[in-house]
Structure 1
Amino acid sequence: MTLQALPHSRVPGSRDAPTLRWGIMGPGWIAERFTESIQAHTGQVIAAVGSRSVNRSKAFAEAYNVPAAYGSYEELAVAPDIDIVYVCTPHTGHHAAAVLAIDAGKHVLIEKPIGLNADQARDIAARAGAAGVFAAEAMWTFFLPKFDVIRQILEAGTLGSITTVVAEYGEHFDPSHRIFDPQLAGGPLLDLGTYPLALVTEVLGSPHKLHAIGQPHESGVNAQLSAVMQFDGGAQAVVNTHLHNFTPTAATIVGSKATLTIEGYFTMPGAFEVRFPDGTRLRYDEPAGGHFEGLHFEAAAVARAVAGGSTEASQRTLAASIGTLEAADEIRRQLGVVFPGESGVPGISARP
């Protein structure tokens, strides 16, 4: 029997969430978008900002009316006036920054990726567990209202048995962008590819077969990669990501009973459609938007979790973050991509 209507989002209003005092670790572009979003849409408080440059911290604090500015990550981590640290340093600094905060007894929300590799993610999870503090990856997409509806559709079995997931994300960058810097773990995988890869592993779990192909960039980073995966039960997935130019950034989840297509950007607020073999189409509509319209949902969800005594976010568990990085590690192992500080990439036990 064809579904007659889609479920409604269960995501509460962001302004109703309990208030936490946030410390920003790394005042860059995403920190600006995060601050703008939560100041506009929530009651959360940005209480402090920390940077390796006190001048950068002070400039950020002045621009966003933040009361405290620190000239090091260490100072921010031990600051008494914050409850939680939002880690948004460059990728190569996520693990060390998170450890600083956790060791200081602070809760942490860590920008994606939670670490450079699965070992770093496991270490963060273990340290947070031992300290009894909240820790989560800021994979903001999974906190959006539309993904709560998608989650309900999947849990209800509306699509039937999932057979295929296809997702892609390509974008154009100025040559000066850090994505072209090998010393900053550049290349599209951690910046863009983490979104389609996370969607695949959220829906299907860990692959037991994975085959990746890549294309190098003259800067020394990976320019493009594609991966084909197979999962227990026979389901397959295909992902592509690159830094050449913009793509639709769409995603499709195919099941035995229906197909769910998420319009681009699938990572952001927007619409999706469920199509059944008899021609019935059910559409979920919400205004398309960017980071300003969407980042506040993850902040509010984290505040609710912390206030409720949870040490993880149900929308993006630490196990899920580790699983995505395990797949990313295997992709890099096959392509020979090693990030700063790594002696090698172990990868998952993919069977040929």
Structure 2
Amino acid sequence: MSLDDNVLTFTAIQGIQAGRQYYSVMCPLKVVPRIFVFDEEEVPPELRAQRTLNKSRIPEIARYIVDNPKDYIFSSITASVDGKFEFVPYGQDGTSRNLGTLKIPMTARFLINDGQHRRAAIELALKERPELGDETLSVVFLHDAGLKRSQQMFADLNRHAIRPTKSLGILYDRREPMAELCRQVVDDVTVFRDLTEVEKTTISNRSNKLHTLSAIYQATQTLLGKTKRSKVNAEEVKLAVEFWEEVGKNVPDWQLAVKKSVGCAELRRDYIHAHGIAIQALGGAGAALLAEEPKQWKKRLTALRKINWSRSNPEWEGRALVNGRVSKALVNVTRTTNFVKQTLGVAATSKERQAENQVKSKKRA
């Protein structure tokens, strides 16, 4: 890319989609914030060509670049050019007619159709790592055919853009220590190894899986008191594996599922322990138990055998159940955690006691 006589010049590949030309170029990162703009927030939605910028997303994307300067990857930005531009092919025959130079005057207006958050994150990341400015990002240029066309392009570009499930993200994430720990837990814990759904965050009625990777991840985070970016050591991995292995020994139905003596679908239908709220509650109660009883916690976990996990148990209404249906709401997770804590003889927090009193008040009413 070069800038001569107020003209941006790119080596480009020309292509055709729906009868319209488009051009793929490599743009230096340091140029991206200077030439690309997005609609101002005060413009009404019906007069914009895309959504407003979600500023809360930008620091996380920028941190991804900064923390992984040798191993980050970005998909292309798609932008429309409002103004005249010229494509000069290297030749007139074969592939040479689609390879050439794209010349765009600096007076032209560039409108991002897809990638405005990447653009803002690049600008922020370059302030911390300016040496990345000479690296490149692929950009697809199209001719601006007006607001209606730009709005339709935005809709089309995002129509089939589906974020991967949380479980699948954890399965494939090789950067995050907690994701690595969670995969290790699933591999090493008997009741997780062959019974965990690693792609979806929900389990279908006929599935032969009992847990989701995302639920185990969240519960293990709570168990160890970790955040998404927390570092993890070998002792914590060992502790997590030992804890969940011990929990599994004290939920007999899980052992039956491992032996295939009972179907997972049957357990989900009839028992609370076959739902993510139970895993989360066990993780929360486990964190308190480990803090209170760092030496004898395994012995204390045997009390889990006293819990009647059946959905017909009236104790679950207002806790794990709301009108007979399993609820994942935070207040229900808190109440279910408190119930497990009571069984284990672990002291509840003031917030948990308050949530428990609300359950008792409703039952008396």
TM-score range, shorter chain: under 0.3
Please identify which structure carries the higher helix content: 2
Structure 2 length normalisation: TM-score?
Answer: 0.22
TM-score (norm 1): 0.23
Structure (1/2) with the larger strand percentage: 1
Could you say which structure has the larger radius of gyration?
Answer: 2
The higher relative CO (CA closer than 8 Å, separation ≥ 6) is in 1
